[in-house]
Amino acid sequence: MSDYQRTFDAITADPRYLANLDWGKPRPGHPEGTVRAHIAEIEPNLETLKPKLTDDEHWKLKLLIHTHDSFKAEARPGVSIADPRSHASLARAFLASYTDDADLLAMVQFHDEPFALYRQVEFKGSYSQERFDALLHAIADWNLFLAFNIIDGCTAGKSREPLKWLFREVAGKVESRFTEADIVG
């Protein structure tokens, strides 16, 4: 059993994690409603990508799937991704109690940053290059981060356009074996 699999087993048994699974109601981007239902919806996307993954990557992605939105119940609505009260910061702090993998922690912290940048393009016609550059530097394993974005972004309630935009923006800037062709649905 890998360290990441042991970490996954510990996290999914943690009362703090379990207490938040049934939070949520259907809303834009998440018509499935609860965190538990979101996890159930995206886990099959992991299985679709599994042939392209190492065993460690598979377990790291399971950790990301199960932690990235698991603290929305405790988050302050409307705060920035970097705010310590955001769901991303709370999820990062929770995950940090189980692992010191700096890249996984950055991925949990910044999992919504590509979508936030895409929304800037939608509403303003451009995005913050400073924020995009910070994201490029915050993430070391772009294979894993792009795989997670595919897994999380390919649901019934989400457009594929933000993913396509992300792949176009990182093309030539990061090395990855994942491409726009891997987007599910």
Count of beta carbons in the 10 Å neighbourhood of residue 28:
7
Q: What is the spatial distance between Cα 11 and Cα 70, in angstroms, rounded to a whole number?
A: 11
Read off the pLDDT band of 157 (50, 70, 90): confident
Q: What is the pLDDT of residue 144?
A: 97
Residue-wise pLDDT for 59-93, tens only, equals 999 999 999 999 999 999 999 999 999 999 999 99
Q: What is the pLDDT of residue 38?
A: 95
In the numeric block, which tokens belong to residue 58?
A: 């598979």
Which residue intervals of the chain are DSSP H helices?
Answer: 3-11, 15-20, 35-49, 55-67, 87-96, 102-109, 113-124, 129-138, 142-153, 161-170
Residue-wise pLDDT for 37-50, tens only, equals 999 999 999 999 99
Tokens 């599910």 sit on residue = 184
Angle at CA 110, nearest 5°, toward 106 and 113? 155
Tokens 């999820």 sit on residue = 91
Q: How far from the centroid of its chain's Cα atoms is residue 77's Cα?
A: 18
Residue-wise pLDDT for 120-150, tens only, equals 999 999 999 999 999 999 999 999 999 999 9
Domains annotated on the chain, with CATH: 3-182 (1.10.3210)
